[in-house]
Amino acid sequence: MRNRLELDKILFMPEILQGQIDCRLSCKFMGKTYNLPVGIAPVGMSGAIWPGAEKILARCGARNTIPYCLSTVACALPEDVGPIAGHMGWFQLYVPDNPEIRRSIIGRARNSGFDKLVVTVDVPADSRRERQRRSQMTYPPRLDLPMLASMVSRPRWCLQVLREGMPTMRLAESYLDRRQKSGNLFRHAGRVIRGCPDWNTIAAIRQEWDGHLLVKGITRPQDAVRLVGMGIDGLWVSNHSGRQFEAGPASIEIIGKIRNAVGSQFPIAFDSGVAGGLDVMRALAMGADLVFLGRAFHYAVAALEGAGAEHLVYILDADIRANMAQIGARTLDELEYRLISKA
């Protein structure tokens, strides 16, 4: 909620009489040119929201030349998604404590064609997520009466599950032995895959991954500066949409400070609370180079499968163009000069 409140505080001053405005929305980020300053954020278990969602979103990224970031805890394997995402594929890593498993996952991501590795650091422990508990959502889905009633009312979802298989954390499962597979699969899988990384872990990953390396979940400018000093190639400012910790600052409140701390040229991605083209413009104006949306793309796929994701890209493109015209901006670089005040 704080993300929304703080995004709404960011205002632009319209500049009048600018004539016909044809905006240029493509952007360069870490050696690639993207058609829009927008990407699809990693979401674990996307395939539970809509079976096959990972492949649908990877296809959407490739078709529209925008990045798609596959989660470590996706329902699809990097080997199946990487070739679909093509040059638009990024891989998000939750760091396992076991360095052999870590190196194996990194190798599999590289061999599957992902050229950017995103290490998520804002999940140091499980969070309780009271709303999720109240909704009685469980992994794996518990086949009790409310769940069965919900399934009956969604026959297309059920059919799709028959095609794609039950949603599970496939990558994590591939590291479980038979004994673990027969117990509580999700608890074991979660433990195998998500460890407690520290600064030394980041230094080790820097040695193990020779492609572009980003760290996701940055809030403190001091941490950003330290990461830059360690040879990280890009930062991803995010508060995980407040899912992990409710009393932290909104990401949009702190991106300006992080931008100031690392300088104007250092690549910064952003997410948390972005709900449309105007929010994308707000984040860019405050210092982001590329803005990711997680939930929005998943709502779109849940509603209309692949057509939903395509339609969201269309809406974002049209919304950014329309709003840039209102303030007389032709390029993304001009946005910060239209801000009424910069925190």
User: Which residues participate in catalysis according to the annotation?
Assistant: 240
317 binds ligand FMN (CB under 6 A): no
**Burial group, residue 215, by CB count within 10 angstroms (0-12, 13-18, 19+):** buried
d(CA 177, CA 163): 26
Calpha distance 6→101 (Å, rounded) = 39
Find out whether 274 and 327 touch, Cβ atoms under 8 Å: no
Residues 196-215 contacting ligand FMN, CB under 6 A = none
CB 127 within 8 A of CB 239: no
Counted residue by residue, the chain has a size of 343
Q: Considering the complex, what minimum distance in angstroms separates the CB of residue 275 from ligand FMN?
A: 8
Name the segment binding ligand FMN (CB under 6 A); options: 139-147, 179-187, 266-274, 307-315.
266-274
Contact 245/219 with Cβ under 8 angstroms? no
Kindly tell me which residue out of 64, 71, 201, 323 binds ligand FMN, with binding defined by CB under 6 A.
71
Q: Parallel, antiparallel, or unpaired: how do β-strands 27-29 and 32-34 relate? A: antiparallel
Q: Shortest distance, CB of residue 69 to ligand FMN, whole angstroms?
A: 7
Q: Which stretch binds ligand FMN (CB under 6 A): 158-166, 222-230, 235-243, 258-266?
A: 235-243
120 versus 201: smaller Cβ distance to ligand FMN: 120
- Residue 291 or 335: the one with the smaller Cβ distance to ligand FMN is 291
Residue 249 CA from chain centroid, whole number = 18
Which of 168, 201, 219, 272 is the binder for ligand FMN (CB under 6 A)? 272
Which pair of structure tokens corresponds to residue 12? 């632009």
Nearer to ligand FMN, 294 or 306 (CB): 294
Instruction: Give me the residues that bind ligand FMN (CB under 6 A), please.
Output: 41-44, 71, 73, 92, 120, 216, 238, 240-241, 243, 271-274, 293-296
